[in-house]
Amino acid sequence: MWLVGRRQLNELRGQMSLPDKTEWSPCQKTALRLLQEDTANLFITGAAGTGKSFLIREFLKNKERKKFPVVASTGSAAVLVGGRTFHSFFGLGIMEGGLDRTIDKALANRRIVNRLKKTEGFVLDEVSMISGVTLRAAEAIARFARGDQRPWGGMRVVAVGDFAQLPPVTPSGQRDWAFLEETWLRSDFVPVLLRTMLRSQDPDYLQMLSCIRSGAIDEQVQRYLSERVHEEVEELSLTRLFGRRDMAERFNRQRLASLENPLQEFPTRYLGTPQGIEQLKRNAPIPELLQLKEGALVMIRVNDPGYQYVNGSIGIVTHITPQLLEVTLKNKKIVEITQHDFAVLDGDGEEVATATNFPVTLAYAITIHKAQGVTLDGLIADLRGLWEPGQAYVALSRLRSGANLFLHGWDVASIRVDPQVVAFYERLG
């Protein structure tokens, strides 16, 4: 998500309506100034599509990644950004044995202590998925490792994310939001709330999203969603979003089987430590066995060094060889896709395992979780039976416009918003 060059940023501006620096809104200018000129801990937040990632790219382009790394809240995000997980960076493991034991174990590891002593600060990506107890453990480890009782041992922290999107996963199932943790208060984050929408310029769609984000399901929102319910949508070029992985995988298999062209299979090649390979099998955006046919709808899962496509671009496979895929994108551009290495890094940023295959997945269907951060031209979703706060909002906010939103159905009970999140953002203003 962060690894994008200047020429690619120019193309992204065309695809996502990202503003030129001279056209930035006051809140965006303030955010960039605080990032570049200040030393305060920051919390960069805002609705989906407001340019949080773009700001961080601008901030990091002149930073030495060893001294100011990006750490991700999940393994999947870490693989995509070529970075490290929050857990591995701070030596948290799975926090077996509780908080105190986790802290003691990390501090007994000289590599972790030395790494933290050399770090100036870090960007925490998708902070909403970090639990409060996890944040508390990492902050304590940082203070003791650096011998500095200031918050985070004096390191600068730039937390990025939207608590109105997907929540942390906890063993108890209860929501342990990071912003409710005392560590969050001690960190003294300066909130930077981005308000300018970059992904979409559709006012009716944006108004609906704002209501969904805050849980205000009034008659206008209900009418908007109900008008987009089409029980028999069969447009195969649109991606479907499902709440559960097995449903998405089953739909992809069914659509692939319906194509008459021969099936071709490409096993992913893994190299590295057993633990690293296992992490890649769980978190890399490619399957262990990639199954394709000519005519299949696919999503590209990397940014192109030649700036022809980005992670999330969708197209049709028109030709397959063992060395490359030819894909016709939605804008009719034909691109050639070669095999790509996805890596998992240890806490020091060293590569411990790689997974190699064509960087594409079938795009007839993906889960709502996997869609977070992706921009789609159109989608079909069933918003019934959802169970997590933010799921409906993440699904609905993937588009540039509501014109290509199609629903099999929806219900009010699936549009879940945590009142604590609503209250938190009300306090931010």
Q: Which residues contact 116 (CB under 8 A, 6 or more apart)?
A: 90, 141, 142, 145, 146, 153, 155
Two structure tokens written together for 40: 């305060």
Stated as kind and residue range, the H or E segment containing 9 is helix 6-16
Q: What are the pLDDT tens digits along the chain (429 aa)?
A: 222 233 333 333 333 333 444 466 677 778 888 888 878 999 999 887 777 877 887 888 878 888 899 888 877 776 666 668 898 899 888 787 789 989 999 999 999 999 999 999 999 988 988 999 999 999 999 999 999 999 999 999 999 999 988 888 766 567 789 999 999 999 999 998 888 776 667 889 989 999 999 888 999 999 999 999 986 666 556 888 988 888 899 999 999 999 999 999 999 999 999 988 988 888 788 899 999 999 999 988 887 766 677 777 888 999 999 999 999 988 789 999 999 888 887 777 778 888 999 999 998 998 888 887 777 878 888 888 888 888 899 999 888 888 889 998 899 999 989 999 999 998 987
Q: What is the pLDDT of residue 148?
A: 95
In angstroms, rounded to a whole number, what is the distance separating the alpha carbons of residues 177 and 73? 13
DSSP 189: P
Stated as kind and residue range, the H or E segment containing 71 is strand 70-72
Two structure tokens written together for 387: 């169970």
Stated as kind and residue range, the H or E segment containing 84 is strand 84-85
State the number of CA atoms in the 13 A half-sphere of 380 facing the CB: 17
Beta bridge partners of 326: 319, 336
State the number of CA atoms in the 13 A half-sphere of 24 facing the CB: 15
For the domain bounded by 6-194, which CATH number is listed? Answer: 3.40.50.300
**Block residue for tokens 């902050």:** 139
Q: Is-contact 390 243, C-beta < 8 A?
A: no
Q: What is the pLDDT of residue 64?
A: 82
Taking alpha carbons only, the member of 171, 164, 215 closest to residue 194 is 164
Q: Is 428 exposed, middle or buried (0-12, 13-18, 19+ CB in 10 A)?
A: exposed
**What residue segments make up the domains of the chain, in order of their start?**
6-194, 203-414
Question: CA torsion 327→367→418→383, rounded to 10°?
Answer: 100
Q: What is the pLDDT of residue 3?
A: 28
Count other Cβ atoms within 10 Å, centred on residue 10: 12
In angstroms, rounded to a whole number, what is the distance separating the alpha carbons of residues 327 and 299? 10
Q: Which residues contact 45 (CB under 8 A, 6 or more apart)?
A: 52, 160, 161, 162, 163, 191, 192, 193, 194, 428
In angstroms, rounded to a whole number, what is the distance separating the alpha carbons of residues 82 and 345? 8
Q: Which residues contact 254 (CB under 8 A, 6 or more apart)?
A: none
Two structure tokens written together for 94: 């799975």
In angstroms, rounded to a whole number, what is the distance separating the alpha carbons of residues 373 and 384? 22
Count other Cβ atoms within 10 Å, centred on residue 187: 18
SS (H, E, C) 95-147: CCCCHHHHHHHHHCCHHHHHHHHHCCEEEEECHHHCEHHHHHHHHHHHHHHHC
At 5, give phi and psi (nearest 5°): -85, 175
**Block residue for tokens 């671009």:** 313
Q: At what angle do helices 99-107 and 110-118 cross, to 10 degrees?
A: 80
Two structure tokens written together for 425: 């953002």
Q: Which residues contact 341 (CB under 8 A, 6 or more apart)?
A: 354, 355, 356
